[in-house]
Each structure stands twice: as C-alpha cells, then as structure tokens.
Amino acid sequence: MPDPRPAASVRMDLMQTLLLYLLIMGLVVAVVFAVVWFVFGRGEDLPPVEPETTLTRLPSVGITGDDVRALRFAQTPRGYKQAEVDWALARLAHEVDDLRSVIARLRDREPVPGTHPDDPAADGAENAAGAWRSGPPTAPG
C-alpha cells in the first residue's frame, strides 16, 4: 500500500529527523568538549617573565661550543631582546679573554729542564738512555 501522506509531509519528516541527529551530535560534541576542558584545564600559558629577568642561560665558567649553540634569546617585535644579546656577548668575551690569558701564561712559562728537544741536558739524557740519537747509527769499524 502506498503511503497516503503527501510527498511534502514525507520530506518534512526526513528533514526533522536529520535536524534532530545534528542537534544530538552537537550536544554530544559540546559535552565531550566541556569534560575535556575541565579534566585537562584551559591550556593557560606560563606567567610572563619579569621585565628584568631572562631565560637565556650560560654556565658561569667553562662555556663550551654546545652551550653557545644552545643559546636562545627572547623574541621582540624588532628581533631579539638587546639586553640578553649584550649579556651573552659580554660573557663570551670574558670567557675568550680568560682562555687567551691561560694560553699566554702557558706560552710564557719556562720549560722544565729535560723536556724541551733543544735543551742540551735533555739531549744528553736521551742519548745516554739510547732512546734518541741526533743522526743515523754508525757502522762499527
């Protein structure tokens, strides 16, 4: 038997069913969103860094290449925060100066007797031990 209702009425029932499904899906999504929001929080950011502090870090002594490569500066609208960059460059300059002074002290230090190859005392000691000779060995005879 054919449906005695007109076609417009059938369409209206179908439309109402689809709208009801969409409404229920929207409610389910809203409930899931609310539960997740309350369980995991609203995703707050960390509080802003105080104006006179920085997150830029370098060790107080013994700066290595990896420390410099890991160095990061705070972003500002026109590049990096100048105070952080100036501080990092001053620390690196101080470290370079310290290393240069250590190198200069090591170069200026007098050699220990018997360790320098041009030292006659070292030459005699090594020749006496037979460990080093100034020329090729001579044949007997």
Give 35-70 pLDDT, tens digit per residue. 988 888 766 676 776 766 666 777 777 787 888 888
Looking up tokens 């160095």 gives: 71
Residue 33: the pLDDT is: 94
Choose the most confident range, by mean pLDDT, from 5-9, 32-36, 114-118, 135-139.
32-36
Whether residues 74 and 115 share a domain: the answer is: yes
Q: Is residue 52 part of a domain?
A: no
* pTM, entire model: 0.38
Residue 18 has pLDDT above 90, yes or no: yes
Residue 135 has pLDDT above 60, yes or no: no
Report the number of distinct structural domains present in the chain.
2
Residue 32 has pLDDT above 90, yes or no: yes
Q: Is residue 36 part of a domain?
A: yes
Whether residues 120 and 70 share a domain: the answer is: yes
Looking up tokens 């700066």 gives: 63
Q: Is residue 30 part of a domain?
A: yes
Which residue(s) pair with 75 in the sheet?
Answer: 80
Q: Is residue 98 part of a domain?
A: yes
Residue 29: the pLDDT is: 98
Whether residues 76 and 113 share a domain: the answer is: yes
Looking up tokens 């002594």 gives: 61
The boundaries of the domain holding residue 26 are 13-40
Residue 62: the pLDDT is: 79
- Return all residues near 111 (Cβ < 8 A) that are at least 6 apart: 119
Q: Is residue 111 part of a domain?
A: yes
Angle at 121 between CA 120 and CA 124, to 5 degrees: 85
